[in-house]
A and B are shown apart, each in its own frame.
Chain A
Amino acid sequence: MSDTHAQTVSYVRETMLPEAEPPVGNRGALLWVRENLFSGWLNILLTLVSLYVIWWALAHTMPWVFRGIWNAGSLSECREIRDATLPEGTSAACWAVLSDRWQQLMFGFYPRELYWRPVLALVIFLAAIAPVLFSHMPRKALWLTAASPFVMFWLLWGGSVWFPVSVALGFALGWAAWRALAPLAGTLIASIVAVALPVVYWLYSAGTLARELDQAMPLSIEYVPSQDFGGFMLSFIIGIAGIILSLPLGILLALGRQSDLFIINKISVGFIEIIRGVPLIVWLFTASLLLNYFLPPGTNFDLMLRVIIMVTLFAAAYIAEVVRGGLAALPKGQYEAADALGLDYWKSMRLIILPQALKISIPGIVNTFIGLFKDTTLVVFIGLLDPIGLSNAIRASTEWNGIYWELFVFIGLLFFICCFSMSRYSLYLEKKLQRGHN
């Protein structure tokens, strides 16, 4: 072995190298363009073709959109204005249908002078949902959130204020029963009483109480029947009620499906499979037609309420499966660690398992919500006047007979805004809940 070789083999580093900046060429916008759009001859070709296709599509639609006519009383008037002002053969949108009928698309046949009520309800909804969606809002605001459904109900349907108040009282009753019994009689008995007591109260005394109170102190606003509801207001009410109610129900079903208790497990599995295995439209027909056969004659069970219940059950079955996926994705060690610390089932679910499982399930849950929201347009088939139903009604009038694109573009745009916001929120939430690399 020669000396030089020995020197190259044995080596001791004397100074550690400092951290260095990446080379200059590795940052900047120009680099991004080169790397992502023009990194090779094939990519250059694809970029150019794509740009051409985008330009072509926009060139054919944008003039139609921006040349659109906003002031006209009917489709034929629109066409006259177009032919008078634009060169022959050019097409232009007739947005006048929106300026003429937007109230109907938004509110259906809700009394015109009461439009402030749904608008105020929407404002209250946005204020109430904010502390739920964004955790940096003050926690105390959640109390207002809890009260808001009753206020919104009253604003939308009107009637005596004592009806929503006496319904709300049922929830307060259940909560009080739980607080009083849980330390004394254990969680199981307390939760049974907390559910049973309000149900009995609602069935037997809530109505009477509301009537008595109304006689003692009449306080009511004009009543608007469900038949007058329509347009986006209807889609919103069904969609949002469905979303808010289906999440807790779906979580319970997912836990039920994972449960070792035979009966609960089979009920959950049966419920999920039956609801999921039948098209929503069939359930909606069931709600609108069949349900009346099963209810005692003379009961007038609001159609909108029936639809909300069906949509909720339908979405809950999907949510349950999405959440089950999240539960299954958690390592078994999480369940064991929670058990080993002495947490009981509900505490370990609430504190350890569900926060992680729901985080994994966020994309799937939001996906289901978006699907549910868009599916509210199916209620047109059972005679409720959602935006699609109203577009048919508008087209049936002599003024707007033959108009399609403008109405559907508008309806599509509104749905897109709602669904896209949900999707963005889910991305925000996923990012916020990121915890290191685990």
Chain B
Amino acid sequence: MTDTTAARTIDRSHMQVSDEVAIEISNMNKWYGSFHVLRDIDLTVYQGERIVICGPSGSGKSTLIRCINRLEEHQSGRIVVDGTELSSDLKNIDKIRSEVGMCFQHFNLFPHLTILENCTLAPIWVRKTPKREAEEIAMHFLEKVKIPDQAHKYPGQLSGGQQQRVAIARSLCMKPRIMLFDEPTSALDPEMIKEVLDTMIELAEEGMTMLCVTHEMGFARQVANRVIFMDQGQIVEQNEPEAFFNSPQSDRTKLFLSQILGH
């Protein structure tokens, strides 16, 4: 995998991990029918942490982060996000979803709305922000991801990289405390991966709590403070990036790293 973020030096001044817990997952299990996708997951994420989750396909890493905002339902165990426990209570789910932003592999922008409308929709309808104010916030974040001039176009008119940056801005407009990234660069051309990663690095530099499912190991090395390796629905190994990449402990991790870094 190419090291697309190598050229950038990271400003770590704001990247401090506090001891306040952002997400606490304990003994969490999930099944798809009779297939046991997530097995006994225990994970505590502190405010300000940048966690990269990697692993072979089918290892349950996407399912794990999708459980955090209840796009997938877990069957046993506890997930507590920002002090609110996820249960079938719709009020809690909506509350957590408005605090947790998410970016998808295929962007999932709303094609019938302009870029600006994509960004203002949730603040206006969920947060009840007045339209004008929501537009100011949206323009602020669109400037941050460096596409304010595209605000009045439709998603279909933008490149993949631009669409993913809009998707990030759309999430940020809700002022989330936690951001989830589900393979945000996997559907992008190599030329566009960098612009999206740069945006994510900037976000990390500002101290956002981030959980990223990604195969961008360069990003993991530079930005993450913890790398988690999953296989067969379990957390196999987790460590600081330096240690994780240089001296992986389990055989499964070694094999995975040799395959993904080997060329």
Contacts and interface: CB of A to CB of B under 8 A. Distances in A.
A438 B104 contact: no
Interface string B143-171: 00000000001111100000000000011
A337 B155 CA distance: 14
Interface string A422-437: 0000000000010111
B112 interface: yes
B94 A344 contact: yes
Contact of A342 (B97, B104, B112, B155): B97
A435 B113 CA distance: 9
Interface stretch (A349-357, A367-375, A381-389): A349-357
Given A333-B106, A340-B97, A344-B94, A438 B111 contact: yes
Interface stretch (B10-18, B120-128, B226-234): B120-128
Contact of A334 (B95, B97, B100, B108): B108
B32 interface: no
Nearest to B111: A438
A336 interface: yes
Given A337-B104, A340-B97, A347 B154 contact: no
B157 A340 contact: no
Contact of A433 (B90, B101, B112, B122): B112
A341 B154 contact: no
Contacts of A355: 112
Interface string A330-366: 0101101111111110010001100110010000000
Contact of B174 (A338, A341, A433): A341
Select the residue from A339, A343, A344, A435 with max chain B CB neighbours within 10 A. Answer: A435
Chain A residues touching B, majority SS: helix
A342 B174 contact: yes
Contacts of A438: 111, 154-156
Given A343-B125, A351-B121, A438-B154, A359 B98 contact: no
A436 B155 contact: yes
B111 A340 contact: no
Contacts of A344: 90, 94
Contacts of A436: 111, 153-157
A436 B126 CA distance: 27
B31 interface: no
Select the residue from A331, A333, A438 with max chain B CB neighbours within 10 A. Answer: A438
B156 A340 contact: no
Interface in B152-202: 153-157, 170-171, 174
B104 A333 contact: yes
Interface string B80-113: 0000000000100011011011101011111110
Contacts of A334: 108, 110
B216 to A, nearest CB: 21
Select the residue from B70, B108, B171 with max chain A CB neighbours within 10 A. Answer: B108
Contacts of B125: 343, 347, 351
Contacts of A331: 106, 108
B69 interface: yes
A435 B154 contact: yes
B156 A333 contact: no
Contacts of B102: 337, 340
B152 to A, nearest CB: 12
B156 A435 contact: yes
A347 B121 CA distance: 10
Contacts of A336: 71, 104, 108
A340 B69 contact: yes
Interface string B1-45: 000000000000000000000000000000000000000000000
A363 B153 CA distance: 26
A361 to B, nearest CB: 14
Contacts of B122: 341-343
A106 B112 CA distance: 42
Nearest to B158: A436
A342 B106 contact: no
Select the residue from A337, A340, A351 with max chain B CB neighbours within 10 A. Answer: A340
Nearest to B109: A337
A188 to B, nearest CB: 11
B71 A340 contact: yes
B118 to A, nearest CB: 9
Contacts of B156: 435-438
Nearest to A333: B108
B104 A435 contact: no
B53 to A, nearest CB: 17
B112 A341 contact: no
7 contacts: A341-B170, A342-B98, A342-B122, A343-B125, A356-B111, A435-B111, A436-B111
Interface of A: 331, 333-334, 336-344, 347, 351-352, 355-356, 359, 433, 435-438
Given A331-B106, A337-B102, A342-B126, 14 more contacts: A334-B110, A337-B108, A340-B104, A341-B98, A341-B121, A342-B95, A342-B174, A343-B126, A344-B90, A351-B121, A352-B121, A355-B112, A435-B112, A437-B157
